[in-house]
């Protein structure tokens, strides 16, 4: 089996297609034809060709030196004349007159196709789903199926997904399908068996790093026999596929080669390090001296960046025969650490500058991170290039590959908060565990605290991003903002291979989710969990900061495909704040009624708090000013004048905990147990008489849903999301926001109901449980995320979903 890399470039290819290289003014390649030959032979290629863009000069020169095992090649740029869509064609075995003939007519792909058919030159469409000028459509691809019988399915500069999809698509073609396409586009196929496609592969190397690592195999002993095997569709592609790091590494190599043509400062440290990375020959004395200076500088100055660079040099010097892939991994890790260090320094500096109000130093700090951004650009652009055909891949799968031969939808969910005490965290924890238990393809991406600080187990489908810096705001001491490593995180996200991205928070992890959706070209949905504008107004009261926050959140949402809103009220509110209604969609919230169900007995309050009598009011959630807790205190004080036997429990922790507990200290029937373990919440809800939740900043109110699922009536504000969870007068009550008389009246009315009309109160508890069980099923949420077709197997038995309503009454009679 003879092997040939059928797609290789040399220094005769001029204009680069890579954006980064265009900006710095390089050629497409600086590899000499003779170097291509040497590298190909080293990789075990039996024959060698060069396919430069629109020229055969390099291939001809190489053939002159090695006539026995080199054949000519070219990558021709051609166009659909209807609209100028650019296509690349690989052609082999041509001579100068044939090249000139093809070059003359290459502006018209139809004429070029006919000429290739007439001359019988072996050829193939290069990287079918990659659009050189961003104009390729699905219809163009179908036309190419009719125009050509040979395709490069295995391109070493593209990702493996492209190869796998094209292989499946070509396996699905039939004579009937091709006839259908011919009738649709009025194009006649080349032959009766044109539905059977020939497949080839090549590295598409421009840098000299991966020559021969992707190739085509055929039973041939001469170049002429090999070319005939291509024409006869008797070839098989194999070898390396690329990823964004490999493409970025190739970009760095071309940039380095370019720098060598511009009279580089040979004695510089950077030049010496680049020589170690990219040159196989020993470095000269000047560069050796520069490396010794680097080691000396590291010893004299303890600087993280200097240490990283020095460690890279040591590793390269100790492993001079390191493969390109091993160098790629080492250099990528070093660039990642260097970029992280620059970003970390920026955020440390910004934290100090903001606290001191020094805007000049703040701007200087921001400019200091620009080298880190510059280092990262090739990774970003490479990731974008490799994924820009995702829509076309999806379309090909939908049209040509049966569902059983396609993988299911993969959802990756980004959040800055996961283990904290909040409704967002509670929802995502339950979603993570539920999707894991049901074998759904969903992963939660977050930046977790150290293991010793977590307190609760983390589901296995949670991706923990590496943290490079953390910051705890003074005004919100129970929440720590964690900054993930961008490049290291992108690697983990790429491995997760999302088909759709959900984002719960607009912090650093959320921003990373937006970046990933743009670079990976997948749809993104921002889930509106928190009204930061109202929260900051309650906590800080600074209207300017509230306006900045609102503008930032609106900008963040403008970057996503859709915005999922939990309630109708917030759909209207967000539209008023400037978010287009066309981007808004309703997002259901779910709860597992088998977990949050009426449980326990009257002994729970006595055992846990020493409460043996009276009516027990409950507030559950974060103890923070934006929860309107001072108003809650006013409600309680207005009630105990007539009802001194009323108990009040504040379940939770937060930045206002100590101060608020001190404020309520005179009231002996007020309890602050701190954060309640999630497993004990159903017993707490079941044992209490009323959830009082006066917050006006909630977009939904997860604790209200939990309480109702346990059969606990709730009293909520008419401002915000919780009012849409309850049915006023049937499962709880809605009171006018911050109207003390209204809140007092409704609490006292429910207390009277418990004493005078216990059957009505029990009916309210039953209704609360029933309403949540029927309206907020996780199955509905999962249908929204994955589609109804995938939820058929998730349905649970009615007994598992709904606790019989009589059980609630029984628990009540037991004193629960």
pLDDT of 379 above 90: no
Cβ atoms within 10 Å of 317's Cβ, excluding its own: 12
pLDDT given for residue 809 in this prediction: 45
pLDDT given for residue 800 in this prediction: 37
Given a contact cutoff of 8 angstroms between Cβ atoms, the answer to whether 223 and 178 are in contact is no
Stronger pLDDT, 377 or 558, i.e. the higher one: 558
Stronger pLDDT, 451 or 363, i.e. the higher one: 451
Q: Give the whole-angstrom CA distance, residue 547 versus residue 517.
A: 27
pLDDT of 537 above 80: no
* DSSP string across 358-378: -HHHHHHHHHTTHHHHHHHHH
pLDDT of 68 above 50: yes
CB within 8 A of 187, min separation 6: which ones?
A: 143, 146, 147, 181
Partner residues linked to 471 by β-bridges: 481
pLDDT tens per residue, range 70-97: 999 999 999 999 999 999 999 999 999 9
Q: Give the whole-angstrom CA distance, residue 189 versus residue 195.
A: 9
pLDDT category of residue 45 using cuts at 50, 70 and 90: very high
pLDDT tens per residue, range 204-245: 999 999 999 999 999 999 999 999 999 999 999 999 998 888
Q: Identify which of 165, 176, 132, 173 has the alpha carbon closest to the alpha carbon of residue 149.
A: 173
Averaged pLDDT for residues 515-543? 79
Helices within 281-323 (DSSP H only): 285-300, 304-318
Q: Give the whole-angstrom CA distance, residue 799 versus residue 152.
A: 56
Residue 614 backbone zone (phi > 0: left; psi -120 to 50: alpha; other: beta): left
CATH superfamily of 2-242: Metal-dependent hydrolases (3.20.20.140)
Residue 267 CA neighbour count, 13 Å, CB half? 3
Angle at which helices 805-813 and 758-775 pack, to 10 degrees? Answer: 140
Q: Give the whole-angstrom CA distance, residue 615 versus residue 796.
A: 36
Q: Does domain 409-586 have CATH number 3.20.20.70?
A: no
Stronger pLDDT, 185 or 456, i.e. the higher one: 185
The 8 Å CB, 24+ separation contacts for 743-748 are 743/631, 743/635, 743/692, 743/694, 743/715, 744/635, 744/638, 744/639, 746/715, 747/617, 747/635, 747/639, 747/690, 747/692, 747/715, 748/639, 748/642, 748/643
Structure tokens at 773: 């069980």
pLDDT given for residue 451 in this prediction: 87
pLDDT tens per residue, range 590-639: 888 888 999 876 688 999 999 999 999 999 988 988 889 999 999 999 99
Structure tokens at 612: 């043996």
- Cα distances from 64 to residues 68, 72, 189, 798, in angstroms, run 9, 10, 37, 79
pLDDT of 21 above 80: no
- Scored b (16 or more CB within 10 A) or e, 180-197 reads ebeeeeebebbeeebbeb
pLDDT of 382 above 70: yes
CB within 8 A of 95, min separation 6: which ones?
A: 72
pLDDT given for residue 185 in this prediction: 95
Q: Is 642 exposed, middle or buried (0-12, 13-18, 19+ CB in 10 A)?
A: exposed
* Dihedral sign of CA atoms 55, 59, 61, 63 in order: negative
Q: Identify which of 724, 172, 594 has the alpha carbon closest to the alpha carbon of residue 400.
A: 172
pLDDT of 813 above 60: no
Averaged pLDDT for residues 732-741? 95
Mean pLDDT of all residues in the chain? 85
Stronger pLDDT, 296 or 329, i.e. the higher one: 329
Averaged pLDDT for residues 696-716? 91
pLDDT given for residue 804 in this prediction: 40
pLDDT of 677 above 70: yes
Q: Give the whole-angstrom CA distance, residue 159 versus residue 547.
A: 43
Cβ atoms within 10 Å of 748's Cβ, excluding its own: 15
Q: Identify which of 602, 588, 637, 803 has the alpha carbon closest to the alpha carbon of residue 711.
A: 803
Rg (CA), the chain: 33
pLDDT category of residue 19 using cuts at 50, 70 and 90: low
Q: Give the whole-angstrom CA distance, residue 333 versus residue 579.
A: 39
Torsion of CA 227, 105, 125, 179, to 10 degrees: -100
pLDDT given for residue 576 in this prediction: 84
pLDDT given for residue 404 in this prediction: 81
Q: Give the whole-angstrom CA distance, residue 12 versus residue 57.
A: 7
Helices within 654-757 (DSSP H only): 657-663, 681-687, 702-709, 740-756
Averaged pLDDT for residues 505-532? 90
pLDDT tens per residue, range 766-807: 999 999 988 888 888 888 888 743 333 333 333 333 334 444
Cβ atoms within 10 Å of 456's Cβ, excluding its own: 10
Partner residues linked to 502 by β-bridges: 413, 525
Given a contact cutoff of 8 angstroms between Cβ atoms, the answer to whether 708 and 714 are in contact is yes
pLDDT tens per residue, range 401-427: 988 877 888 999 999 999 887 778 888
pLDDT of 115 above 70: yes
pLDDT given for residue 452 in this prediction: 84
Structure tokens at 375: 């280092």
CB within 8 A of 763, min separation 6: which ones?
A: none
pLDDT given for residue 476 in this prediction: 58
Q: Give the whole-angstrom CA distance, residue 760 versus residue 751.
A: 12
Q: Where are the domains of the chain?
A: 2-242, 246-368, 409-586, 603-813
Terminal-residue alpha carbon distance, the chain: 79
Stronger pLDDT, 471 or 130, i.e. the higher one: 130
- Cα distances from 27 to residues 19, 283, 448, in angstroms, run 12, 24, 44
pLDDT given for residue 753 in this prediction: 96
pLDDT of 808 above 50: no
Q: Does domain 603-813 have CATH number 3.40.47.10?
A: no
Q: Which strands sit side by side in the sheet containing 584-586, from one edge to the other?
A: 462-464, 442-446, 411-414, 500-503, 524-527, 562-565, 584-586
pLDDT given for residue 511 in this prediction: 94
Angle at which helices 244-260 and 486-496 pack, to 10 degrees? Answer: 140
pLDDT category of residue 13 using cuts at 50, 70 and 90: confident
Comparing 409-586 with 603-813, is the CATH topology the same? yes
pTM for this prediction: 0.78
Q: Identify which of 563, 573, 354 has the alpha carbon closest to the alpha carbon of residue 473.
A: 354
Given a contact cutoff of 8 angstroms between Cβ atoms, the answer to whether 513 and 503 are in contact is yes
């Amino acid at each position: 089996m003879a092997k040939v890399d059928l797609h290789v470039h040399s220094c005769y290819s001029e204009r680069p297609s890579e954006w980064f290289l265009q900006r710095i003014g390089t050629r497409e390649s600086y590899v000499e034809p003779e170097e291509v030959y040497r590298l190909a032979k080293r990789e075990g290629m039996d024959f060698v060709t060069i396919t430069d863009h629109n020229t055969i000069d390099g291939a001809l020169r190489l053939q002159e030196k090695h006539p026995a095992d080199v054949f000519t090649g070219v990558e021709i740029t051609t166009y659909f004349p209807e609209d100028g869509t650019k296509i690349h064609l690989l052609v082999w075995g041509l001579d100068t007159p044939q090249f000139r003939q093809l070059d003359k007519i290459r502006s018209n792909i139809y004429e070029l196709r006919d000429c290739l058919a007439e001359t019988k030159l072996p050829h193939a469409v290069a990287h079918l789903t990659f659009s050189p000028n961003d104009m390729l459509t699905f219809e163009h691809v179908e036309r190419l199926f009719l125009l050509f019988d040979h395709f490069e399915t295995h391109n070493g500069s593209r990702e493996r997904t492209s190869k796998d999809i094209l292989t499946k698509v070509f396996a699905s073609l039939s004579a009937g399908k091709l006839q259908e396409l011919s009738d649709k586009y009025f194009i006649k196929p080349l032959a009766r068996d044109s539905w059977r496609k020939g497949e080839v592969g090549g590295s598409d190397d421009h840098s000299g790093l991966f020559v021969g690592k992707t190739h085509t195999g055929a039973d041939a002993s001469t170049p002429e026999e090999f070319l005939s095997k291509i024409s006869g569709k008797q070839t098989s592609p194999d070898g390396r596929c690329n990823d964004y790091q490999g493409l970025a590494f190739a970009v760095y190599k071309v940039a380095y080669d370019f720098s060598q043509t511009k009279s580089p400062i040979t004695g510089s440290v950077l030049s010496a390090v680049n020589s170690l990375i990219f040159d196989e020959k020993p470095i000269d004395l000047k560069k050796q001296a520069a490396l010794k200076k680097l080691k000396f500088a590291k010893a004299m100055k303890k600087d993280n960046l200097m240490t990283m660079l020095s460690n890279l040099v040591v590793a390269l010097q100790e492993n001079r025969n390191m493969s390109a892939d091993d160098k790629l991994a080492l250099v990528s890790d070093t660039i990642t650490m260097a970029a992280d260090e620059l970003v970390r320094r920026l955020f440390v500096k910004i934290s100090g500058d903001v606290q001191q109000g020094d805007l000049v130093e703040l701007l200087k700090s921001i400019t200091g991170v620009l080298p880190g951004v510059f280092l990262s650009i090739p990774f970003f652009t490479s990731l974008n290039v490799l994924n820009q055909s995702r829509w076309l891949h999806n379309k090909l799968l939908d049209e040509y590959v049966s569902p059983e031969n396609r993988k299911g939808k993969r959802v990756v969910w980004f959040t800055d908060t996961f283990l904290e005490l909040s409704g967002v965290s509670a929802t995502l924890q339950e979603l993570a565990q539920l999707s894991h238990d049901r074998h759904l393809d969903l992963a939660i991406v977050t930046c977790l605290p150290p293991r010793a600080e977590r307190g609760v187990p983390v589901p296995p489908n949670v991706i923990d991003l590496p943290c490079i810096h953390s910051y705890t705001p003074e005004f919100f001491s129970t929440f720590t903002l964690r900054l993930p490593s961008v490049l290291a995180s992108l690697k983990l996200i790429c491995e997760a291979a999302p088909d759709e991205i959900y984002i719960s928070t607009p912090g650093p992890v959320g921003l990373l989710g937006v970046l990933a959706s743009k670079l990976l070209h997948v749809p993104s949905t921002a889930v509106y969990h928190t009204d930061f504008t109202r929260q900051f107004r309650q906590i800080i009261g600074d209207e300017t900061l509230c306006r900045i926050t609102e503008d930032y959140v609106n900008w963040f949402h403008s970057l996503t495909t859709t915005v999922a809103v939990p309630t109708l009220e917030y759909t209207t509110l967000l539209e008023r704040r400037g978010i287009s209604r066309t981007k808004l969609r309703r997002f259901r919230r779910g709860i597992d009624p088998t977990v949050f169900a009426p449980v326990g007995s009257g002994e729970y309050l006595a055992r846990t708090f020493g409460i043996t009598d009276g009516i027990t009011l409950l507030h559950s959630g974060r103890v923070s000013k934006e929860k309107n807790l001072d108003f809650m205190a006013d409600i309680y004080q207005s009630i105990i004048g007539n009802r001194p036997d009323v108990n009040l429990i504040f379940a939770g922790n937060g930045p206002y905990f100590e101060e608020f507990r001190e404020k309520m200290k005179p009231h002996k029937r007020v309890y602050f147990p701190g954060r309640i373990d999630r497993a004990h919440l159903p017993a707490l809800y079941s044992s209490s008489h009323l959830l009082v939740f006066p917050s006006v900043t909630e977009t939904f109110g997860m604790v209200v849903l939990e309480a109702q699922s346990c059969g606990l009536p709730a009293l909520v504000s008419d401002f915000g999301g919780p009012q849409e969870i309850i049915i006023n007068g049937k499962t709880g009550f809605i009171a006018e926001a911050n109207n003390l008389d209204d809140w007092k009246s409704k609490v006292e009315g429910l207390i009277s109901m418990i004493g005078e009309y216990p059957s009505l109160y029990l009916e309210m508890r039953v209704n609360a449980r029933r309403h949540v069980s029927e309206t907020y099923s996780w199955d509905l949420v999962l249908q929204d995320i994955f589609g109804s077709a995938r939820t058929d197997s998730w349905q649970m038995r009615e007994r598992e979903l709904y606790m019989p309503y009589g059980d609630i009454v029984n628990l009540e009679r037991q004193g629960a």
